[in-house]
């Protein structure tokens, strides 16, 4: 995969050659190195029957574990009487430990003071005999947070996606991710976990000690179709260069677009967390794409204000928000929404990850994205995008008279 590197933060460029996995690490016959995984709001009618469900994948991964389970999550919200899926997942984690599997869980600190339920969930996990649970605010010194969401099992299989360790993320929120069995990608995710686990209590002079080949492109497969993929991380700097930084490749993907760009994200803002400083890299890249005649569509949460998008709408972008009615079991907070984070370019390549489109996610906090070149995967994700875009739950964002920048 040939990729040009550019970045407003770091100008260093590097290129990597593909690796050939050792035969002992290659997925066995019948396995796929990438499997698309989804959650969807129950009772919405928007599930994809041929896509694996997040809860099923998590539970099966834990069931198959033999030696080690490592989980990195923004937070945990596991105490409920409304989610058999979360109950089963937690039960399988306990069973895994009882049969000798090491269970390590790394959680972000910033959500704990905000929610009694989240604080109680952390206490519950810490109380389970044998579970190793750490809470980190490693990124606090740079005004960042732990926002990544992934799990590795036996250093051979991983999940990476938008789903938090939250019962609502399994049953009542639109999430997308991948189950990953490609050895280099799993190894790279494991390296991120080990670095953050080891340095969970260090907040000053942060240096990320990650492999130089972390963002190396590798061959993969999806439903018997060949693909190429690589990982990239955030935050930028702090020991990594632009060849490992997520924003570098997002901007490159947007710049490469010739016909279409479809974006789903929970949050889109032209600012950094709590700062006056503007974050305009993605906005400017989208404006350039629109100027070339590329169709740009954004699917967002309805909390966004129309004035955020005045410039994009004026240049021809199409924007919709999506929300869902309450579940029959009753109302719930921070649910019944689209939380998936992905970008599809020209029905050829996709980015999918844990970052929202706001500056802090790329510059200050821990996030991870996977970049994939595959017409088959891109077409499937585009199908999902169109399904939500055209659904009765979507609403067009009309232009505002207030400019965003």
- Specify the DSSP element, H or E, that contains 83: none
* Residue 174 three-state SS: strand
The distance in angstroms from the start CA to the end CA of the chain is: 35
- In DSSP terms, 16 is beta-bridged to none
In this prediction, residues 63-91 reach a mean pLDDT of 97
100: left (phi over 0), alpha (psi -120 to 50) or beta: left
- Reply yes or no on whether the pLDDT at 22 is more than 70: no
Q: Note the CATH number of domain 31-396.
A: 3.30.870.10
Domain spans of the chain, in order of start = 31-396
- pLDDT tens-digit readout, 190-212: 999 999 999 999 887 688 999 99
pTM (global) more than 0.85: yes
Reference 244, options 186, 192, 298; nearest CA is 192
- pLDDT tens-digit readout, 373-390: 999 999 999 999 999 999
- pLDDT tens-digit readout, 212-266: 999 999 999 998 999 999 999 999 988 888 999 999 999 999 999 999 999 999 9
Burial letters 23-51, b for 16+ CB under 10 A, else e: eeeebeeeebbbbbbbbbbbebebeeeee
- Dist. CA 318–CA 149, nearest whole Å: 29
Lowest-pLDDT range of 23-37, 314-328, 361-375: 23-37
* Residue 251 three-state SS: helix
- Specify the DSSP element, H or E, that contains 56: helix 54-63
Cis status of the peptide bond prior to 18, with omega within 30 of 0:
no
- pLDDT tens-digit readout, 135-164: 999 998 888 999 999 999 999 999 999 999
Give residues with Cβ within 8 angstroms of 63, minimum separation 6: 92, 95, 96
């Amino acid at each position: 995969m040939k990729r040009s590197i550019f970045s407003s933060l770091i100008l260093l460029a590097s290129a990597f050659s593909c690796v050939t996995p050792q035969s002992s690490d290659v997925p066995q016959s019948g396995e796929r190195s990438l499997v698309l995984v989804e959650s969807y709001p129950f009772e919405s009618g928007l599930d994809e029957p041929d896509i694996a469900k997040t809860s099923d994948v998590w539970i099966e991964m834990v069931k198959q574990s033999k030696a080690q389970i490592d989980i990195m999550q923004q937070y945990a919200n596991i105490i409920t009487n409304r989610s058999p899926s979360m109950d089963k997942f937690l039960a399988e984690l306990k069973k895994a430990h009882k049969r000798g599997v090491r269970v390590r869980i790394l959680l972000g600190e910033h959500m704990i003071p905000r929610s009694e339920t989240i604080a109680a969930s952390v206490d519950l996990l810490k109380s389970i005999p044998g579970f190793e649970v750490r809470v980190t605010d490693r990124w606090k010194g740079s005004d960042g947070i732990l926002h990544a969401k992934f799990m590795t099992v036996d250093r051979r299989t991983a999940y990476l996606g938008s789903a938090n360790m939250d019962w609502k993320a399994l049953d009542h929120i639109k999430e997308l991710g991948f189950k990953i069995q490609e050895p280099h990608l799993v190894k790279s995710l494991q390296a991120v976990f080990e670095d953050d686990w080891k340095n969970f209590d260090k907040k000053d002079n942060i240096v990320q000690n990650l492999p130089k080949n972390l963002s190396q492109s590798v061959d993969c497969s999806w439903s018997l179709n060949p693909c190429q993929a690589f990982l990239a991380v955030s935050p930028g700097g702090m020991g990594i260069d632009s060849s490992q930084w997520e924003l570098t490749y997002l901007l490159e993907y947007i710049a490469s677009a010739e016909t279409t760009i479809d974006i789903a994200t929970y949050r889109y803002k032209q600012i950094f967390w709590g700062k006056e400083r503007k974050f305009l890299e993605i906005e400017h890249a989208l404006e350039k794409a629109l100027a070339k005649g590329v169709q740009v569509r954004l699917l967002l949460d309805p909390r966004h204000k129309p004035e955020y998008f005045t410039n994009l709408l004026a240049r021809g972008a199409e924007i919709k928000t999506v929300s869902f009615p309450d579940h029959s079991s009753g109302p719930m907070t921070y649910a019944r929404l689209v939380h998936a984070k992905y970008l599809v370019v020209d029905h050829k390549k996709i980015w999918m990850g844990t970052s929202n489109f706001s500056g802090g996610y790329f510059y200050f906090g821990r996030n991870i994205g996977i970049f994939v070149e595959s017409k088959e995967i891109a077409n499937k994700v585009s199908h999902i995008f169109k399904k939500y875009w055209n659904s009765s739950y979507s609403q067009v964002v009309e232009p505002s008279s207030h400019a965003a920048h």
